[in-house]
Structure 1
Amino acid sequence: MNYTNSLTQQISFNNQKYFVKRDDLLHKDFSGNKARKFYYFLKNDFAKIKKVISFGSAQSNAMYSLSVLCKTKGWEFDYYVDHIASFLKENPVGNYKYALENDMNIVEAEIPKSFKEDELFISEGGAIFEASFGIEILANEIKSWAEKHQIKNLKVFLPSGTGTTALYLQKFLPFEVLTCACVGDEEYLKKQFLALEKNNFPTILKKEKKYHFGKLYKEFYEIHNELIKQTNIEFDLLYDSLGWLCFEKYVENFDKKDEYEFLYIHQGGLLGNISMKERYKHKFDK
Structure 2
Amino acid sequence: MLPSPISKIILDGREFLVKRDDLIDPYLAGNKYRKLYSLINTPKDTLNKLISYGGTQSNAMLAIAALAKSKGWDFIYYTKTLSKQQKEDESGNFFHARNLGMQHKELDRAIYRDYVASLRVNLDNNSLVIEQGGAIQDARVGLEVLAQELRQQLLKHKDVKALATPSGTGTTALFLALSLPEFTIYTTPCVGGVSYLREQMQALHDIPKNLVILSPKKKYHFAKPYKEFYAMYVKLQTVAIEFDLLYAPAMWEALLEQTEEKVLYIHSGGVSGNESMLRRYSQKSFFNL
Q: Could you say which TM-score interval applies, normalised by the shorter chain?
A: over 0.9
CA deviation map 1:87-111 (0-9, x unaligned): 0212232111111111110000233
- Report what 2:16 is aligned to: 18
What is the CA-CA distance between 1:210 and the residue it aligns to?
A: 1.8
- Report what 1:275 is aligned to: 276
Alignment of 1:1-286 (within 5 A): 2=1, 4-45=2-43, 47-109=45-107, 110-111=115-116, 112=119, 114=121, 115-147=123-155, 149-151=156-158, 153-173=160-180, 174-200=182-208, 202-228=211-237, 230-251=238-259, 254=260, 257=261, 261-283=262-284, 284-286=286-288
Q: Which amino acid aligns with 2:81?
A: H
Q: Secondary structure at the match of 2:264?
A: strand
Q: Secondary structure at the match of 1:196?
A: coil
What is the CA-CA distance between 1:154 and the residue it aligns to?
A: 1.3
Q: Secondary structure at the match of 1:170?
A: helix
Q: Secondary structure at the match of 2:255?
A: helix
What is the CA-CA distance between 1:150 and the residue it aligns to?
A: 4.7
Q: Which amino acid aligns with 2:52?
A: S
Determine what percentage of the aligned residue pairs are the same residue: 39
- Is contact 2:192-2:219 (8 Å) kept? no
CA deviation map 1:181-215 (0-9, x unaligned): 11011111111111111241511012112212222
Q: Secondary structure at the match of 2:52?
A: strand
- Is contact 2:32-2:134 (8 Å) kept? yes
- Is contact 2:26-2:272 (8 Å) kept? no
What is the CA-CA distance between 1:63 and the residue it aligns to?
A: 0.6
Any runs of at least 4 consecutive aligned residues in structure 1 with deviations exceeding 3 A, and if so which? Answer: 110-113
Q: Which amino acid aligns with 2:168?
A: G
What is the CA-CA distance between 1:55 and the residue it aligns to?
A: 0.5
Task: Measure, in 1, the Cα distance between the counterparts of 2:149 and 2:279.
Answer: 35
Task: Measure, in 2, the Cα distance between the counterparts of 1:13 and 1:31.
Answer: 24
Task: Measure, in 2, the Cα distance between the counterparts of 1:10 and 1:153.
Answer: 12
Task: Measure, in 1, the Cα distance between the counterparts of 2:101 and 2:126.
Answer: 18
Which of 18-27 and 201-210 deviates more? 201-210
Q: Secondary structure at the match of 2:283?
A: helix
Aligned-pair RMSD on alpha carbons?
1.4
Relative to structure 1, the CA distance from residue 188 to residue 6 in structure 2 (aligned partners, 3 Å threshold; closer, same or farther) is same
Length-normalised TM-score, structure 1: 0.92
Q: Secondary structure at the match of 2:61?
A: helix
- Is contact 2:37-2:139 (8 Å) kept? yes
What is the CA-CA distance between 1:46 and the residue it aligns to?
A: 5.8
Q: Secondary structure at the match of 1:35?
A: helix
Length-normalised TM-score, structure 2: 0.91
Q: Which amino acid aligns with 1:177?
A: I
What is the CA-CA distance between 1:113 and the residue it aligns to?
A: 5.1
CA deviation map 1:135-181 (0-9, x unaligned): 1111111100111x151541101110000000000011120101001
Relative to structure 1, the CA distance from residue 212 to residue 29 in structure 2 (aligned partners, 3 Å threshold; closer, same or farther) is closer
What is the CA-CA distance between 1:274 and the residue it aligns to?
A: 0.8
What is the CA-CA distance between 1:50 and the residue it aligns to?
A: 0.8
5+ residue gaps in structure 1?
none
Q: Secondary structure at the match of 2:8?
A: strand
- Aligned length in residues: 275
5+ residue gaps in structure 2?
108-114
